Amino acid sequence: MSKRLGSTVEVESVEEFDTRIADGAIDLSGWHLQGLDLRGRGHALRSVEVAGALFLDCELDPGDEVSIQARGALVFPAVPGVPVDSYRATLYDAEELYEGMDASYEATLDARVYAWSQQERSLDLTLTKALHDHSIDDALLAAVEGRRVVGVMGGHALVRGSVEYAAAARLAAELTRAGLTVATGGGPGAMEAANLGAYLAHRSPGNLEEALEMLAAVPSFAPSVRAWARAAFDVRERWPDGAESLGVPTWHYGHEPPNAFATQVAKYFRNAVREAVLLRVATAGIVFLPGAAGTTQEVFQDACENYYADASSVAPMVLVGREHWTERLPVWPLLTALAGDRLMASHVHLVEDVDEVPSILGGHGESAR
């Protein structure tokens, strides 16, 4: 896949490189070539101008690397000794993050990356994280292009087998059937429930109920992440090829493993970047299920986006649970006071349960933050 952003051409496959060269490209200035195996393509590289081109973690024959650097290209090699690909062109999936789980959760890519990220701060560590998150950001924006994305936010502590967990799953299933792409924070609890519902959206209601029963046998990722994740993969094996949804977790919260039901996973190191991106891609609005500090933070981050937005960019905010958001955590009075006479005033909603959500979101046209 390639993208042209102004004068920048991002080339993320060898096939795309070959096609552009065959079509007559003679100047690679502004090209960003990412993770390509360009060995054996010395003739093509010598036939074009490369000054101003950026080669990120590309495999090159030794003579070609010397040649393109001498002619003005910038070559960034892979950072040695790290468990992540800093220049990856695609999002993760659950299989990749949980590879090695049969041995133990600690053996998985997800756990190894978190352990690596906790080492003493160094230039290599900081640079690798920044490059990785930039690549994930780029891949995420490509993945959501043309989609109407609805965010479903909620607490990580919600356990499998609870009424609230099942309600979150049914909500996400209905939103997915309505043509929306569900996006969550990618972790456990309400986030997993929403990704589960999206995954099984095109199966029968009985299949979802059966899946909920299977998962309830392992209510939480504590004390065993492996057992918790294994139950999820059992559901996926029982019903393969589920509908797409998005998870946007972070290694900042390393104690919270990613759920296995998001089909595309944009996992970040920097939580602040992750939060901002998740809100930005949710162009069709955000549903806030009962949660604690993290969900409250997301409510007001989204409120800030809507407060300053123009009419074309305001997206719906739906808070679920009157008692939770008016008494336990009285977010609603402050949110409505903030909305006041702003454009966002008609876009903030408080409902009692999830059954009221789809009709609210269905009444709004597509917005773009």
Mean pLDDT of the chain: 93
Is residue 83, in this structure, part of any structural domain at all? no
The pLDDT, as a whole number, for residue 367 is 47
pLDDT in tens, 261-312: 999 999 999 999 898 999 899 999 999 999 999 999 999 999 999 999 999 8
**Other Cβ atoms closer than 10 A to 300:** 14
CB 267 within 8 A of CB 256: no
pLDDT tops 70 at residue 16: yes
Q: How far is CA 240 from the centre of its chain?
A: 21
The pLDDT, as a whole number, for residue 35 is 87
Q: Among the three residues 27, 42, 76, which one is the final residue of a domain in this structure?
A: 76
This prediction has a pTM of 0.87
For the chain, the domain total comes to: 2
Identify the bridge partners of residue 184 per DSSP, sorted by sequence position: 247
Class of residue 37 by CB neighbours under 10 A (exposed 0-12, middle 13-18, buried 19+): exposed
For 51, the token pair is 């000054």
**What number is the average pLDDT over the span 179-198?**
97
Is residue 118, in this structure, part of any structural domain at all? no
> Residue 356 and residue 348: Cα distance in Å, rounded?
13
For tokens 């036939």, name the residue: 47
Same domain membership, residue 241 and residue 329: yes
b (16+ CB within 10 A) / e for 174-211: bbbeeebbbbbbbbbbbbbbbbbbbbbbeeeeeebebb
Class of residue 23 by CB neighbours under 10 A (exposed 0-12, middle 13-18, buried 19+): exposed
The pLDDT, as a whole number, for residue 288 is 97
> Residue 212 and residue 280: Cα distance in Å, rounded?
31
Is residue 132, in this structure, part of any structural domain at all? no
The pLDDT, as a whole number, for residue 244 is 98
pLDDT in tens, 73-88: 999 887 788 899 988 8
Same domain membership, residue 64 and residue 149: no
Same domain membership, residue 59 and residue 185: no
Q: First-to-last CA distance in the chain?
A: 25
Same domain membership, residue 303 and residue 157: yes
Same domain membership, residue 28 and residue 161: no
Same domain membership, residue 285 and residue 151: yes
> What domain range is 216 assigned to?
139-362
pLDDT band, residue 366 (cuts 50/70/90)? very low
pLDDT tops 90 at residue 6: no
% the chain with pLDDT above 70: 96
The pLDDT, as a whole number, for residue 5 is 44
pLDDT band, residue 120 (cuts 50/70/90)? confident
pLDDT band, residue 2 (cuts 50/70/90)? very low
% the chain with pLDDT above 90: 85
Q: Among the three residues 45, 76, 107, which one is the final residue of a domain in this structure?
A: 76
For tokens 């409505």, name the residue: 336
> Residue 270 and residue 300: Cα distance in Å, rounded?
19
Same domain membership, residue 166 and residue 34: no
pLDDT band, residue 368 (cuts 50/70/90)? very low
The pLDDT, as a whole number, for residue 363 is 53
Is residue 314, in this structure, part of any structural domain at all? yes
Element (H, E) at 41: none
Same domain membership, residue 159 and residue 63: no
Report helix, strand or coil for 362.
helix
Class of residue 222 by CB neighbours under 10 A (exposed 0-12, middle 13-18, buried 19+): exposed
Bridge pairing between strands 264-265 and 286-288: unpaired
Same domain membership, residue 176 and residue 37: no
Q: Among the three residues 47, 76, 105, which one is the final residue of a domain in this structure?
A: 76
Lowest-confidence region among 145-149, 162-166, 255-259, 364-368:
364-368
**What number is the average pLDDT over the span 341-345?**
95
The pLDDT, as a whole number, for residue 89 is 86
